[in-house]
């Protein structure tokens, strides 16, 4: 194993979607340099299939119209559901294709001319940027009957445990780090969805509602997520 892998162990979980290419993880040049359990094939995109992942990699075998249409459709689906860093791997794309894909939500085009080390470094930087590096083992937050484990990306309410989606995770982490502070919808959107995305207040309101339901809170009589009408939200817990 190369020295740089030993010194900087890979921590991300990669979901690979093969488009126009044989489904073969070992065809990816850097596959041998990361643990097998951190690389998996995805056959579809939904909240269940991506919630445990740190980055999505589209492996392209060709770039004809049908493949590009599928790639754009999958990107739009990803961006409508969750926020995960997304990269392409395989054939070189034309400049106008790259621009269009980036505008749709792509984060990185990995070039076939790059070394495995360069590609892994780029993906690790994306994971850091999007906040999906492993949390410290002690990161557990309790809100009444709700227990949130940031290490496992899980939430338990009244004894029932389920997984957090990437957006739910980022939103709860942002609230947890800013307890008691007034957070505007713009601030929340920029942190959770990214500063490079057009602001959409509907997404913020929608996911605040989802989080309230998951932690057992109420919009009409909130205990944890309090609305400051026209201003934003405050996250309160027993320590405030």
DSSP code string of 119-183:
HHHHHHHHHHHTT-SPPPTT-EEEETTEEEETTTTEEEETTEEEEPPHHHHHHHHHHHHTTT--B
Clarify whether residues 181 and 101 are in a common domain.
no
Residue 18 lies in a domain: yes
Residue 202 lies in a domain: yes
- pTM for the predicted model, two decimal places: 0.55
Residue 102 lies in a domain: yes
Residue 59 CA to residue 22 CA, distance in Å, equals 9
Specify the 3-state DSSP secondary structure of 22: coil
**b/e map of 147-170 (b: 16 or more CB within 10 Å)?**
bbbbeebbbebeeeeeebbbbbbb
Reading phi first (left if > 0) and then psi (alpha if -120 to 50, else beta), residue 154 is in beta
What pLDDT is stored for residue 24 in this prediction? 92
Does position 47 have pLDDT exceeding 80, yes or no? no
Does position 132 have pLDDT exceeding 80, yes or no? no
Residue 68 lies in a domain: yes
- Of the three residues 129, 153, 168, the one that is the final residue of a domain is 129
Clarify whether residues 25 and 97 are in a common domain.
yes
Residue 240 lies in a domain: no
- Of the three residues 101, 129, 157, the one that is the final residue of a domain is 129
Specify the 3-state DSSP secondary structure of 9: coil
Number of CB atoms found within 10 A of residue 43's CB: 8
Clarify whether residues 120 and 219 are in a common domain.
no
The boundaries of the domain holding residue 45 are 3-129
Nearest residue to 120 via CA among 230, 218, 12: 12
Q: Tokens in use for 3?
A: 């020295």
Residue 113 lies in a domain: yes
- Of the three residues 99, 129, 159, the one that is the final residue of a domain is 129
Residue 38 CA to residue 121 CA, distance in Å, equals 15
Q: What is the CATH number of the domain that holds 225?
A: 1.10.10.10
- Which pLDDT band, with edges at 50, 70 and 90, does 2 fall under? very low
Specify the 3-state DSSP secondary structure of 108: strand
Residue 174 CA to residue 169 CA, distance in Å, equals 9
CA 70 to chain centre: 20
Average pLDDT (43-48) is 76
Residue pLDDT, tens place only, 186-224 = 889 988 887 677 888 999 999 999 999 999 998 899 999
Residue pLDDT, tens place only, 67-103 = 999 999 888 877 766 668 899 998 888 888 888 888 8
Clarify whether residues 118 and 191 are in a common domain.
no
Clarify whether residues 122 and 148 are in a common domain.
no
Residue 200 lies in a domain: yes
Clarify whether residues 13 and 89 are in a common domain.
yes
Does position 131 have pLDDT exceeding 60, yes or no? yes
Average pLDDT (61-66) is 91
- Number of domains present in the structure of the chain: 2
Does position 19 have pLDDT exceeding 90, yes or no? yes
Residue 105 lies in a domain: yes
């Amino acid at each position: 194993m190369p020295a740089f892998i030993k010194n900087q162990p890979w921590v991300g979980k990669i979901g690979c979607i093969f488009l126009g290419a044989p489904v073969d993880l070992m065809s990816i040049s850097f596959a041998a340099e990361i643990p097998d359990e951190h690389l998996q094939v995805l056959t579809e995109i939904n909240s269940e299939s991506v919630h445990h992942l740190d980055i999505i990699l589209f492996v392209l075998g060709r770039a004809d119209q049908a493949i590009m249409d599928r790639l754009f459709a999958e990107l739009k689906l990803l961006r409508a559901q969750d926020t995960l860093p997304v990269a392409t791997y395989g054939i070189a794309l034309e400049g106008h294709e790259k621009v269009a894909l980036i505008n749709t939500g792509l984060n990185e085009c990995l070039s076939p001319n790059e070394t495995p080390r360069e590609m892994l470094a780029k993906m690790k930087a994306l994971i850091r940027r999007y906040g999906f590096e492993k949390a410290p083992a002690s990161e557990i937050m309790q809100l009444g009957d709700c227990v949130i484990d940031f290490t496992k990306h899980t939430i338990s309410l009244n004894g029932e445990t389920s997984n957090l989606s990437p957006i739910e995770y980022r939103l709860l982490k942002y609230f947890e780090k800013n307890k008691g502070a007034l957070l505007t919808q713009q601030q929340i959107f920029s942190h959770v969805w990214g500063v490079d995305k057009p602001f959409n207040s509907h997404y913020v309101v929608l996911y605040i509602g989802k989080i309230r339901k998951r932690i057992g809170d109420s919009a009409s009589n909130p205990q944890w997520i309090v609305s400051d009408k026209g201003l934003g939200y405050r996250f309160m817990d027993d320590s405030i």
